[in-house]
Structure 1
């Protein structure tokens, strides 16, 4: 099923040209294309801590449990971007537990998982376009909580996700393994059933990579609600 179609700009070296794209759901049989794009993006990252690499097993298991991968394909039918969303239910990986959601709310959680864009197609707002489409697909499903993780060192992803109304509710290490202590991640949340209000008398601002100062604020009940992209400052308010 085609979700969207349009045009985008491909950039390579100094050349630019316009080409068409198609947005559609990625089938489980196409998972190797997803893995190939993930590998390409990961290898090009100067800071590998920015991206947690999903395994093929994890993604296939999620797809069997209702997850969706929104893929963007270029004019040659090559995958150039994807957004992966899952429904963790009562599993131990549900991020609702990290922000202390009531147990009765956990089956209303949607995870906004990995979003990647091929370097040749950055600057086309594909993160924003796929997020808008993800929310459109989620709305009829009677879900309530959008939750995701973003690296404190990933300016553009954090800006995009906060611009969509998700707020920082926690900052902790995630994705620990035998080889890694885990990666620092903001945990962002949006309750789709109500709006967030700012307590203007209790505002704070911190640079996005000031890990420990932000953790102290969050522990005191502050919520990160806005990112000023140019200065990389996050605005915090006491939650209402």
Structure 2
């Protein structure tokens, strides 16, 4: 398994993997689809995207978002004061192809993204997950994330909202 930070040349591969995996989910509510612009923005300026390759094929990716003061900053949902918002990072989407599930990739990506957030001076780390996504819930909680609340987000899709302080 080869894991590396992805650049803009990989956006089409990321999109193809996302569309492929999401097409087989039992419910479209389980994942909030991103568009190409989101991916380009998070590769270039608002975050980092990591990919896992198996036999030369992209089989998983994971997004670490640095939302700054933008409206997408989850810190506002959690009541973070305005002056602390620049120190908020989010564990955004993680997609793992069925052929690579059970290898611990999601947990690995959680640790990697937390390390990168710490290295970049972030103090608050947030993530959202569908209440029926039990594997993702278990993985977040095993990394020390604490459920704060549940509410509709992303066009009305129910989400558990998790937090972890990095101080």
TM interval, shorter chain, is over 0.9
Could you state the TM-score of these two structures normalised by the residue count of structure 1? Answer: 0.68
Q: Is contact 2:42-2:63 (8 Å) kept?
A: no
Tell me which structure has the larger Cα radius of gyration: 1
Q: State the 1:64 CA deviation.
A: 2.6
Q: Is contact 2:2-2:54 (8 Å) kept?
A: yes
Do structure 1's residue 33 and structure 2's residue 13 form an aligned pair? yes
Equivalent residue, structure 1, for 2:75: 96
- Distance in 2, Cα, partners of 1:22 & 1:63: 18
Q: How many positions carry a matched residue from both structures? A: 167
Do structure 1's residue 69 and structure 2's residue 49 form an aligned pair? yes
Q: State the 1:42 CA deviation.
A: 0.5
Instruction: Give deviations 1:81-128, integer Å, cap 9, x for gaps.
Output: 111111001111111111111111110000100001100111111101
Matches within 5 A, 1:6-21: 21=1
Do structure 1's residue 175 and structure 2's residue 154 form an aligned pair? yes
Equivalent residue, structure 2, for 1:189: 163
- Distance in 2, Cα, partners of 1:157 & 1:23: 20
Equivalent residue, structure 2, for 1:108: 87
- Normalized per residue, which structure has more helix? 2
Matches within 5 A, 1:206-217: none
- Normalized per residue, which structure has more strand? 1
Q: State the 1:145 CA deviation.
A: 0.5
Equivalent residue, structure 2, for 1:43: 23
Q: Which runs of 4+ in 1 moved over 6 A?
A: none
Q: Is contact 1:22-1:72 (8 Å) kept?
A: yes
Do structure 1's residue 160 and structure 2's residue 139 form an aligned pair? yes
Do structure 1's residue 122 and structure 2's residue 96 form an aligned pair? no
- Distance in 2, Cα, partners of 1:65 & 1:173: 28
**Secondary structure at the counterpart of residue 84 of structure 1:** strand
**RMSD, aligned CA:** 1.0
Q: Is contact 1:152-1:186 (8 Å) kept?
A: yes
The answer for unaligned runs of 5 or more in structure 1 is 1-20, 177-181, 194-240
- Distance in 2, Cα, partners of 1:113 & 1:102: 21
Q: State the 1:151 CA deviation.
A: 0.4
- Distance in 2, Cα, partners of 1:140 & 1:99: 23
Q: Is contact 2:147-2:161 (8 Å) kept?
A: yes
